[in-house]
Chains A and B, each alone.
Chain A
């Protein structure tokens, strides 16, 4: 695109917020330290200066109360973006999210919708320990009525935030904090990425690596390593878990006959299992090997660097497992 520039992932999300708040006076931002402080990750910097305290609203440390209020505001004409400071704290709004926001449209037979975005920062790797490192998106994706979005690049971050704010449903927008400084080309003008559209991030023929959020970067690095061994890996980013672009995933698997799923959430009962099962149901006859999965290890995320680095998939481990898969099935 002619107006592309290179900016960070953090700036890309922020740009979408600025644009949407300028475009629609009903868009407001609600959260802890989002105002004058500009966010603990500087992810809301400048919004308060432009839009003021009426639209950039600092709440007490009362996630349940503030989010409950946000749901009510969304039902009555506002389009709030609610920020949960750390993804782990989503547990504090779970009742309002699961029992109110997700169900209002259905329970009212479409008479009320809940157009809100819940954004939060997730991701292992910043030595934050067990209560500040988790990626709990599988838990949310389990609930009908919630859309779940995980942008992996700056451009997707802008395009998906734009789409999330304009969506008439509750959209959970998970930003990997380890991507905040990632730089990439992002259109300066309005940029919209449809929620529910996967993207092939790297074409390939031998294996489909389906990766989410920061794991896309890991998968692309693994694909480079595999290319050195003459293995052609296709990397696909679903970009949203709900809705899931099953067609794009299945089309890739039908081409490559092998699938590996990588996600930053816990492996047990997680996103990787759901996607693997979806592929198995839709493309079993095309598979030459079992679908394999990589996720966060099934332990609380440890603090120490020496331990933390063990619990998350990395490019070497991923590449090795893909090579092993191909050795067994070629």
Chain B
């Protein structure tokens, strides 16, 4: 078990982002089960350590392009939970006034360009954002998040070539969430349908700096991202990070298993963990792991961790209430914004 080597402030900030991500997704799942919206959706549960630590390592002006599995990135970056849930519910108060929904929620005020639900689409946009940064001689970076499946798309490979040719300040973050799949996909690594036995060989072929890391380890993710941003900010980009992470069972609709409801007390009392995936929860849930590390490292007491837990739950619930009480997207706005 890793003991956190990051400083206290950074560690707790990452942990707070993870808490918000987790309870946001549990709220989304509950709202779906309450039939408050009907849509495909893609939860970030199980991958929080990757997103939270990447986001922690970024600056305010950095730009982000993400995928259909975008909720965690938005919430982890500080997007308002109420406006984000409202977008998922199609409300007028949503981040995009109900035009994007779960698949396209974006928050320009926090550096998010479009969320692309076309697999791999974010790679081109992120390269473009990096092109803009380089052209303006700025020192911020662009980050493209995508899953392992995106490596099967030609656009992504083309984007690697272009980013490498022009030394664009872009960090490609591949959240390989097939690797530790449990449930029906267990043992199927890699579940991606590809002839390569290592994804990093693809960007590496273009000379892109690549690392493979444990995506449930906030230290590894934070350090890899910090190094990648340093390279990009000094004109040595692009960079590719493959973070091995795990998707929680219950990611509807293709993986219809019941999601476990988080109880952070399980971090220090594993006997409370029940259910078909108890072993995974005990050993791999990044939230429990990070909570344990924080206490073990003396960064906070169990009570202090639980106070943060409560605070995150409260903020998410306030957001859910705000969203539910908001009016649906207004019918008179349907034709607005087709053109600028």
Partner pick for B337 among A60, A62, A68, A106, CB 8 A cutoff:
A106
B162 near A108 with CB under 8 A, answer: no
Place the interface of chain B in its size category: 35 or more
Q: A68-B121, A70-B128, A73-B131 are in contact. Are A113 and B158 (CB under 8 A)?
A: no
Q: Which residues of B contact A144 (CB under 8 A)?
A: 338
Q: How far is the CB of A298 from chain B (nearest CB, A)?
A: 30
Q: B114 an interface residue at 8 Å Cβ cutoff? A: yes
Chain B 117-130 per-residue mask, 1 if CB under 8 angstroms from chain A, else 0? 01001011111111
Chain A 26-64 per-residue mask, 1 if CB under 8 angstroms from chain B, else 0? 001000000000000000000000000010000110101
Bound CA span A279–B336, Å: 26
Q: How far is the CB of A110 from chain B (nearest CB, A)?
A: 4
Which residues 156-188 of B have a CB within 8 angstroms of A? 157-159, 161-162, 165
Q: Which residues of A contact B104 (CB under 8 A)?
A: 103, 107
Q: Which residues of A contact B154 (CB under 8 A)?
A: 64-65
Q: A72 an interface residue at 8 Å Cβ cutoff? A: yes
B127 near A69 with CB under 8 A, answer: yes
Partner pick for A100 among B108, B114, B336, B337, CB 8 A cutoff:
B114
Chain A CB count within 10 A is highest, among B65, B130, B154, B159, for: B159
Q: B100 an interface residue at 8 Å Cβ cutoff? A: yes
Partner pick for B113 among A28, A66, A75, A96, CB 8 A cutoff:
A75
Bound CA span A190–B104, Å: 40
Bound CA span A122–B133, Å: 33
Q: A322 an interface residue at 8 Å Cβ cutoff? A: no
Q: How far is the CB of A237 from chain B (nearest CB, A)?
A: 22
Q: Which residues of B contact A112 (CB under 8 A)?
A: 106, 108, 113-114
Which residue of chain B lies nearest to A28 when distances are taken between CB atoms in the complex?
B135
Which residues 90-128 of B have a CB within 8 angstroms of A? 96-97, 99-100, 104, 106, 108, 113-114, 116, 118, 121, 123-128
Q: Which residues of A contact B340 (CB under 8 A)?
A: 105, 110, 113-115, 168-169
Partner pick for B338 among A65, A71, A95, A105, CB 8 A cutoff:
A105
Q: How far is the CB of A36 from chain B (nearest CB, A)?
A: 16
Q: A95-B121, A96-B124, A169-B339 are in contact. Are A64 and B158 (CB under 8 A)?
A: yes
Q: B63 an interface residue at 8 Å Cβ cutoff? A: yes
Which residues 233-259 of A have a CB within 8 angstroms of B? none
Q: B78 an interface residue at 8 Å Cβ cutoff? A: no
Q: A130 an interface residue at 8 Å Cβ cutoff? A: no
Q: Which residues of A contact B9 (CB under 8 A)?
A: none
Which residue of chain B lies nearest to A104 when distances are taken between CB atoms in the complex?
B114
Bound CA span A103–B117, Å: 12
Which residues 92-138 of A have a CB within 8 angstroms of B? 95-96, 99-100, 103-115
Q: B213 an interface residue at 8 Å Cβ cutoff? A: no
B159 near A69 with CB under 8 A, answer: yes
Chain B 314-334 per-residue mask, 1 if CB under 8 angstroms from chain A, else 0? 000000000000000000000
B132 near A77 with CB under 8 A, answer: yes
Place the interface of chain A in its size category: 35 or more
Partner pick for B133 among A65, A67, A76, A168, CB 8 A cutoff:
A76
B158 near A65 with CB under 8 A, answer: yes
Bound CA span A95–B118, Å: 8
Q: A78 an interface residue at 8 Å Cβ cutoff? A: yes
Q: How far is the CB of A148 from chain B (nearest CB, A)?
A: 12
The B interface is mostly helix, strand or loop, or mixed, namely: helix
A108 near B108 with CB under 8 A, answer: yes
Bound CA span A66–B154, Å: 12
B99 near A68 with CB under 8 A, answer: no
Q: How far is the CB of A194 from chain B (nearest CB, A)?
A: 14
Q: How far is the CB of B106 from chain A (nearest CB, A)?
A: 6
Q: A149 an interface residue at 8 Å Cβ cutoff? A: no
Bound CA span A74–B108, Å: 14
A72 near B155 with CB under 8 A, answer: no
B161 near A78 with CB under 8 A, answer: no
A75 near B114 with CB under 8 A, answer: yes
Q: A273 an interface residue at 8 Å Cβ cutoff? A: no
Q: A106-B337, A112-B108 are in contact. Are A72 and B132 (CB under 8 A)?
A: yes
Bound CA span A104–B63, Å: 16
Which residue of chain B lies nearest to A55 when distances are taken between CB atoms in the complex?
B135
Pairs A–B under 8 Å by Cβ, sample size 16 = A28-B135, A62-B162, A65-B155, A65-B158, A68-B159, A69-B128, A69-B131, A76-B63, A76-B129, A108-B99, A108-B108, A108-B114, A109-B97, A111-B108, A145-B338, A145-B339
For the A-B complex with A99-B121, A115-B340 known, give 17 more contacts whose Cβ atoms are closer than 8 Å. Answer: A60-B165, A66-B158, A69-B162, A72-B125, A72-B131, A73-B129, A73-B132, A74-B128, A75-B132, A77-B132, A95-B155, A96-B121, A100-B124, A104-B113, A112-B114, A145-B339, A169-B340
